[in-house]
Structure 1
Amino acid sequence: MKYQTKIIEKPADTLTPVGVYLRIRDQFPESLLLESSDYNSDKNSFTFIVAGLLENFKIDKGVLSVNHQKKSIENTETVKNALKDFIAQIHVRQPDKTKQFNGLYGYTGFEAVKYFEDIRFESKPQKDAIPELNYGFYRFIVAINHFNDNMIILENIPDGETSQIESFKNLVTAQKVPQFHFKANNDETS
């Protein structure tokens, strides 16, 4: 798939990453918030919020899914080759300043090591387990620089579609955060 990138830069001194995430999570259910732990350095002092999943590479309970197409995992080469092919099929025309932010966002869990190395270990299945590996390419990326309180909103626009960056910017910078009633289903455990 081919994409064109558009960006908007804004001050972020009145925004918090959690506040931004709370504003977008209901309209973009597969959003992620990835916070920086180093606010003292001017290098890599960013929090990223991504929304609008466009492409997805996931392994969940031993099943590989690429853009919701399931594939069987025969050996470690299957996953390595599928990941290379997944990355190779994403083509982005973008300004140089967005290259440090634009790309895949997600995680590799401990359980996923068996798909890349010839290692076997026994683990107990967990009913509420998250996928072993999950990476996505997203339409919107919000990069908040904590060192200078600047925010970059980046949009990856699929070829043939129009930009939605202005409406997304309005959502991100809105002052009201939706609130919902909370009720615990079970007792607290640890």
Structure 2
Amino acid sequence: MEEIKPTEVKEYRIHPKHRKILADTLTPVSVYLKLRDQFPGTVLLESSDYQSRENSYSYIGCSPVASFEVKGNSVSETYPDQSKSQTMLGDRPLTRAMTDFIDRFDVPDSPHKFIQTAFLGYIAYDCVKHFDRLDFREKPAPADIPDAS
């Protein structure tokens, strides 16, 4: 695989937007269901049911501005300006690659008590090989799903 690296390390300033919606007639799930088909990569996160109402938030994120994806030892990154980078982890720890990616984003401080920006994703079980010294016998994956995204 040919590595594609950005020619310069660029920092991206993120300008978060939010909207407060009183939930008299809407639920977070109903809003999510209306948005998911219009905006790719839409996600819904909700607070724990065990918290008081003052601390309960629902977050709906639409149209990710960037992406970080791991398949095997290959890391693919996409940035807000649509530039892309594809590299091999090699001896570089996955945590270092993730930190380097996150550090490229500048997010202003917020006066709000709720989260305004976040990096959302998952790390599948198969990624344990990047965090622990285990001997794995690789099996072909039943589906083409990234190890982390």
Interval containing the TM-score (normalised by the shorter chain): 0.7 to 0.9
CA contact (8 A) 2:16 2:116 kept: no
**Runs of at least 5 residues in structure 2 that lack an aligned partner in the other structure:** 1-11, 79-83
Deviating more after overlay: 8-17 vs 101-110: 8-17
1:6-155 superposed matches below 5 A:
6-36=17-47, 38-42=48-52, 45-67=56-78, 68-75=84-91, 77-97=92-112, 100-134=115-149
Runs of 4+ in 1 over 3 A off after TM superposition: 43-47
| Shift of residue 116, structure 1, vs aligned partner | 2.2
CA gap of 1:7–1:40, structure 2 versus 1, over 3 A, is: same
CA contact (8 A) 1:4 1:94 kept: no
CA contact (8 A) 1:5 1:94 kept: no
TM norm structure 2 = 0.73
CA gap of 1:122–1:32, structure 2 versus 1, over 3 A, is: farther
Which has the higher relative contact order, 1 or 2, with Cα contacts under 8 A spaced 6 or more apart?
A: 1
1:151-170 superposed matches below 5 A:
none
The structure in which a higher percent of residues are strand is 1
Q: Whole-Å Cα distance in 1 between the matches of residues 111 and 135 of structure 2?
A: 42
TM norm structure 1 = 0.59
1:174-185 superposed matches below 5 A:
none
- Spell out, residue by residue over 1:75-106, the C-alpha distance to the aligned partner (whole angstroms, 9 max, x if none): 3x342222111111110124231663421011
Q: Whole-Å Cα distance in 1 between the matches of residues 13 and 21 of structure 2?
A: 27
What SS is found at the alignment partner of 1:12? coil
Q: Whole-Å Cα distance in 2 between the matches of residues 100 and 26 of structure 1?
A: 24
**Runs of at least 5 residues in structure 1 that lack an aligned partner in the other structure:** 135-190
What SS is found at the alignment partner of 1:53? coil
